[in-house]
Amino acid sequence: MSWKTNIQVRDLDPDQKLELTCTQCGHVHYLTPEIILRAPERGFLYLDEIERESICRARGCRGAVRLALVRNKDTSAFVGGLA
Ligand SMILES: [Zn+2]
């Protein structure tokens, strides 16, 4: 178990975003709750599920990604849990 299995997309604050780092090539892309919730049923996905179904967006890579939570308003990593 980790914090990723306890947090659903709908629990996120609008100013949080998900940082997805490729475990193969290190490419980083971001998802925001707003983007994910364009498909409302996806709000019930846990973050570990988002991590599992996401792949690297670098051309030709398609590697697995590691998910982290960050805040939009500053660039410092937000380490687990919710306030
Ligand atoms: Zn990659």
Domain ranges of the chain: 3-72
Closest CA to 28 of 61, 56, 59: 56
Q: How confident is the model at residue 1 (pLDDT cuts 50, 70, 90)?
A: low
User: Which tens digit of pLDDT belongs to each residue from 23-34?
Assistant: 999 999 999 999
Q: Which residue has the higher pLDDT, 4 or 83?
A: 4
Query: Distance, CA 1 to ligand 1 centroid (Å)?
Result: 25
CA of 20 to the centre of ligand 1 (A): 10
- Burial bucket for residue 43 (CB in 10 Å: 0-12, 13-18, 19+): middle
Range with top average pLDDT, 1-15, 40-54, 65-79:
40-54
Going from the Cα of 26 to the center of ligand 1, the distance in angstroms, rounded, reads 6
- Give residue 61 CA to ligand 1 midpoint distance, Å: 5
Cα(50) to centroid(ligand 1), Å: 16
CB count in 10 Å sphere of residue 82? 12
| Residues sharing a CB contact under 8 Å with residue 53, sequence separation 6 or more, in sequence order | none
